[in-house]
Amino acid sequence: MGHWWYRNIVEPGKLPLLLALASFVLTFLVTRAVTRLIRAGKGPFRNITPGGVHIHHVVPGVVLMVLGGFIALAGGRRGFGTGAAAVLFGMGVGLVLDEFALILHLDDVYWTEEGTKSVEIVILTVALVALILGGFLPFGVNELSPDEETDRFTVVRTVAVNFLFAVIALTKGKGRIAVIGVFVPFVALFGAVRLARPNSPWARRFYRTRPKLRARARVRAYRHDRRWSALRRKVEDFIGGAPSR
Protein backbone atom coordinates (compact mmCIF):
# COMPACT_ATOMS: atom_id res chain seq x y z
CA MET A 1 0.00 0.00 0.00
CA GLY A 2 2.84 2.36 0.91
CA HIS A 3 4.58 1.70 -2.41
CA TRP A 4 1.35 2.36 -4.35
CA TRP A 5 0.77 5.58 -2.39
CA TYR A 6 4.25 6.92 -3.13
CA ARG A 7 4.29 5.84 -6.80
CA ASN A 8 0.80 7.08 -7.73
CA ILE A 9 0.18 10.01 -5.39
CA VAL A 10 3.34 11.41 -3.81
CA GLU A 11 5.89 11.00 -6.61
CA PRO A 12 3.71 12.51 -9.39
CA GLY A 13 2.90 15.44 -7.07
CA LYS A 14 -0.82 14.61 -6.81
CA LEU A 15 -1.07 14.87 -3.02
CA PRO A 16 -2.27 18.53 -3.10
CA LEU A 17 -4.92 17.57 -5.66
CA LEU A 18 -6.07 14.69 -3.46
CA LEU A 19 -6.23 16.99 -0.42
CA ALA A 20 -8.18 19.56 -2.41
CA LEU A 21 -10.64 16.91 -3.62
CA ALA A 22 -11.12 15.46 -0.12
CA SER A 23 -11.69 18.89 1.47
CA PHE A 24 -14.00 19.85 -1.40
CA VAL A 25 -16.21 16.79 -0.97
CA LEU A 26 -16.22 17.01 2.84
CA THR A 27 -17.05 20.74 2.80
CA PHE A 28 -19.89 20.21 0.34
CA LEU A 29 -21.39 17.36 2.39
CA VAL A 30 -21.10 19.29 5.68
CA THR A 31 -22.59 22.40 4.05
CA ARG A 32 -25.55 20.46 2.67
CA ALA A 33 -26.13 18.84 6.06
CA VAL A 34 -26.11 22.25 7.78
CA THR A 35 -28.42 23.89 5.23
CA ARG A 36 -30.85 20.99 5.49
CA LEU A 37 -30.92 21.40 9.27
CA ILE A 38 -31.52 25.15 8.87
CA ARG A 39 -34.33 24.44 6.42
CA ALA A 40 -35.95 21.99 8.85
CA GLY A 41 -35.51 24.39 11.79
CA LYS A 42 -33.41 21.88 13.74
CA GLY A 43 -30.14 22.29 15.58
CA PRO A 44 -28.25 25.44 16.53
CA PHE A 45 -27.53 26.59 12.97
CA ARG A 46 -29.12 29.71 11.49
CA ASN A 47 -28.66 31.85 8.39
CA ILE A 48 -26.12 34.64 8.76
CA THR A 49 -27.98 37.93 8.25
CA PRO A 50 -26.01 40.89 9.66
CA GLY A 51 -27.99 44.09 9.14
CA GLY A 52 -30.73 42.12 7.43
CA VAL A 53 -28.44 41.03 4.58
CA HIS A 54 -28.31 37.26 3.97
CA ILE A 55 -24.65 36.29 3.60
CA HIS A 56 -24.60 33.28 1.30
CA HIS A 57 -21.82 30.77 1.87
CA VAL A 58 -20.53 31.44 -1.62
CA VAL A 59 -18.94 34.59 -0.11
CA PRO A 60 -16.59 32.84 2.36
CA GLY A 61 -16.08 30.25 -0.39
CA VAL A 62 -14.63 32.89 -2.72
CA VAL A 63 -12.42 34.18 0.10
CA LEU A 64 -11.06 30.70 0.79
CA MET A 65 -10.42 30.08 -2.91
CA VAL A 66 -8.51 33.35 -3.20
CA LEU A 67 -6.43 32.58 -0.10
CA GLY A 68 -5.70 29.03 -1.22
CA GLY A 69 -4.80 30.13 -4.74
CA PHE A 70 -2.39 32.85 -3.69
CA ILE A 71 -0.75 30.69 -1.03
CA ALA A 72 -0.24 27.97 -3.63
CA LEU A 73 1.29 30.47 -6.09
CA ALA A 74 3.59 31.88 -3.42
CA GLY A 75 4.84 28.47 -2.26
CA GLY A 76 6.44 25.50 -3.96
CA ARG A 77 4.86 22.32 -5.25
CA ARG A 78 5.51 20.39 -2.04
CA GLY A 79 5.50 20.97 1.68
CA PHE A 80 3.03 21.91 4.38
CA GLY A 81 2.14 25.25 2.78
CA THR A 82 1.11 23.60 -0.47
CA GLY A 83 -1.04 21.09 1.40
CA ALA A 84 -2.69 23.84 3.44
CA ALA A 85 -3.35 25.87 0.28
CA ALA A 86 -4.94 22.82 -1.36
CA VAL A 87 -7.24 22.28 1.64
CA LEU A 88 -8.28 25.95 1.70
CA PHE A 89 -8.89 25.94 -2.04
CA GLY A 90 -10.91 22.71 -1.86
CA MET A 91 -13.06 24.10 0.96
CA GLY A 92 -13.67 27.26 -1.05
CA VAL A 93 -14.65 25.30 -4.15
CA GLY A 94 -17.05 23.21 -2.07
CA LEU A 95 -18.80 26.34 -0.77
CA VAL A 96 -18.87 28.08 -4.15
CA LEU A 97 -20.11 25.14 -6.22
CA ASP A 98 -22.77 24.38 -3.62
CA GLU A 99 -24.30 27.68 -4.72
CA PHE A 100 -23.44 27.38 -8.39
CA ALA A 101 -27.12 27.74 -9.31
CA LEU A 102 -27.30 31.04 -7.40
CA ILE A 103 -24.35 32.37 -9.42
CA LEU A 104 -25.87 31.09 -12.67
CA HIS A 105 -29.33 32.59 -12.10
CA LEU A 106 -28.25 35.56 -9.95
CA ASP A 107 -31.11 34.62 -7.66
CA ASP A 108 -31.60 32.59 -4.49
CA VAL A 109 -32.75 29.34 -6.10
CA TYR A 110 -31.06 27.04 -3.57
CA TRP A 111 -34.15 24.94 -2.74
CA THR A 112 -35.85 25.16 -6.14
CA GLU A 113 -35.70 22.94 -9.21
CA GLU A 114 -33.04 25.23 -10.67
CA GLY A 115 -30.97 24.73 -7.52
CA THR A 116 -30.37 21.08 -8.35
CA LYS A 117 -27.85 22.28 -10.95
CA SER A 118 -25.44 22.84 -8.07
CA VAL A 119 -25.53 19.16 -7.13
CA GLU A 120 -25.04 18.14 -10.78
CA ILE A 121 -21.99 20.40 -11.09
CA VAL A 122 -20.49 19.05 -7.86
CA ILE A 123 -20.93 15.43 -8.96
CA LEU A 124 -19.40 16.21 -12.36
CA THR A 125 -16.46 18.07 -10.78
CA VAL A 126 -15.73 15.18 -8.41
CA ALA A 127 -15.79 12.75 -11.35
CA LEU A 128 -13.38 14.87 -13.41
CA VAL A 129 -10.90 15.37 -10.57
CA ALA A 130 -11.05 11.66 -9.77
CA LEU A 131 -10.19 10.90 -13.42
CA ILE A 132 -7.17 13.20 -13.20
CA LEU A 133 -6.05 11.49 -10.00
CA GLY A 134 -6.45 8.18 -11.79
CA GLY A 135 -3.97 9.26 -14.46
CA PHE A 136 -6.33 10.37 -17.22
CA LEU A 137 -5.21 13.39 -19.24
CA PRO A 138 -7.35 15.56 -21.56
CA PHE A 139 -8.06 14.31 -25.09
CA GLY A 140 -6.48 10.89 -24.69
CA VAL A 141 -2.86 12.02 -24.31
CA ASN A 142 -2.44 9.50 -21.47
CA GLU A 143 -2.97 6.68 -23.97
CA LEU A 144 0.15 7.55 -25.96
CA SER A 145 3.31 5.52 -25.58
CA PRO A 146 6.63 7.28 -24.72
CA ASP A 147 7.70 7.02 -28.37
CA GLU A 148 4.42 8.50 -29.58
CA GLU A 149 4.69 11.37 -27.10
CA THR A 150 7.91 12.49 -28.78
CA ASP A 151 6.12 12.70 -32.13
CA ARG A 152 4.40 16.09 -32.17
CA PHE A 153 2.20 15.16 -35.10
CA THR A 154 0.84 12.13 -33.24
CA VAL A 155 0.08 14.24 -30.17
CA VAL A 156 -1.61 17.00 -32.18
CA ARG A 157 -3.63 14.47 -34.20
CA THR A 158 -4.79 12.64 -31.06
CA VAL A 159 -5.82 15.87 -29.33
CA ALA A 160 -7.58 17.22 -32.43
CA VAL A 161 -9.58 14.04 -33.09
CA ASN A 162 -10.69 13.61 -29.48
CA PHE A 163 -11.49 17.32 -29.21
CA LEU A 164 -13.67 16.97 -32.31
CA PHE A 165 -15.54 14.04 -30.73
CA ALA A 166 -16.16 16.12 -27.57
CA VAL A 167 -17.40 19.12 -29.58
CA ILE A 168 -19.79 16.98 -31.66
CA ALA A 169 -21.17 15.37 -28.49
CA LEU A 170 -21.68 18.83 -27.00
CA THR A 171 -23.52 20.16 -30.07
CA LYS A 172 -25.72 17.06 -29.95
CA GLY A 173 -26.94 18.17 -26.53
CA LYS A 174 -24.90 15.64 -24.55
CA GLY A 175 -23.07 18.00 -22.20
CA ARG A 176 -22.15 15.51 -19.48
CA ILE A 177 -20.83 13.00 -22.02
CA ALA A 178 -18.81 15.73 -23.74
CA VAL A 179 -17.16 16.86 -20.51
CA ILE A 180 -16.30 13.32 -19.38
CA GLY A 181 -15.22 12.57 -22.95
CA VAL A 182 -12.50 15.19 -22.70
CA PHE A 183 -10.68 12.76 -20.40
CA VAL A 184 -12.10 9.46 -21.71
CA PRO A 185 -12.18 9.69 -25.54
CA PHE A 186 -14.31 6.56 -25.97
CA VAL A 187 -17.11 8.29 -24.06
CA ALA A 188 -16.96 11.30 -26.39
CA LEU A 189 -16.98 9.01 -29.43
CA PHE A 190 -20.07 7.26 -28.07
CA GLY A 191 -21.83 10.60 -27.69
CA ALA A 192 -20.70 11.77 -31.12
CA VAL A 193 -22.15 8.82 -33.05
CA ARG A 194 -25.45 8.63 -31.19
CA LEU A 195 -28.60 10.51 -32.18
CA ALA A 196 -28.69 14.13 -31.08
CA ARG A 197 -31.12 15.46 -28.50
CA PRO A 198 -34.18 16.90 -30.31
CA ASN A 199 -33.57 20.51 -29.19
CA SER A 200 -29.80 20.49 -29.65
CA PRO A 201 -27.96 22.70 -32.18
CA TRP A 202 -27.04 19.56 -34.18
CA ALA A 203 -30.69 18.49 -34.47
CA ARG A 204 -31.83 21.97 -35.48
CA ARG A 205 -29.18 22.09 -38.19
CA PHE A 206 -29.09 18.55 -39.59
CA TYR A 207 -32.52 17.10 -38.72
CA ARG A 208 -34.51 20.07 -39.99
CA THR A 209 -35.45 18.43 -43.31
CA ARG A 210 -35.47 14.85 -42.00
CA PRO A 211 -38.76 14.31 -40.14
CA LYS A 212 -38.17 10.59 -39.52
CA LEU A 213 -34.83 11.30 -37.89
CA ARG A 214 -36.40 14.07 -35.79
CA ALA A 215 -39.10 11.67 -34.64
CA ARG A 216 -36.51 9.00 -33.73
CA ALA A 217 -34.53 11.58 -31.77
CA ARG A 218 -37.62 12.64 -29.80
CA VAL A 219 -38.59 9.04 -29.02
CA ARG A 220 -35.06 8.11 -27.93
CA ALA A 221 -34.75 11.22 -25.76
CA TYR A 222 -38.12 10.46 -24.13
CA ARG A 223 -37.15 6.86 -23.39
CA HIS A 224 -33.75 7.89 -22.04
CA ASP A 225 -35.24 10.56 -19.76
CA ARG A 226 -37.97 8.21 -18.53
CA ARG A 227 -35.37 5.56 -17.71
CA TRP A 228 -32.68 7.68 -16.08
CA SER A 229 -34.13 11.04 -14.97
CA ALA A 230 -36.00 9.61 -11.99
CA LEU A 231 -32.90 7.75 -10.78
CA ARG A 232 -30.69 10.82 -11.24
CA ARG A 233 -33.19 12.95 -9.35
CA LYS A 234 -33.30 10.47 -6.45
CA VAL A 235 -29.50 10.53 -6.19
CA GLU A 236 -29.41 14.34 -6.32
CA ASP A 237 -32.18 14.65 -3.73
CA PHE A 238 -30.37 12.17 -1.47
CA ILE A 239 -27.14 14.15 -1.69
CA GLY A 240 -28.44 17.70 -1.69
CA GLY A 241 -31.98 17.52 -0.34
CA ALA A 242 -35.25 17.58 -2.25
CA PRO A 243 -36.21 20.98 -3.73
CA SER A 244 -39.45 22.72 -2.86
CA ARG A 245 -42.21 21.49 -5.13
Residue 135 is predicted with a pLDDT of: 76
Cα distance between the two ends of the chain:
48
Q: Tell me, what's the pLDDT at 45?
A: 79
Tell me what the pLDDT averaged over the chain comes to. 86
Q: pLDDT at position 66, please? A: 95
Nearest Cα residue to 239 out of 116, 132, 147: 116
- Mean pLDDT over 104-113 rounds to 88
* CA-CA-CA-CA dihedral for 162, 163, 167, 170, to nearest 10: 70
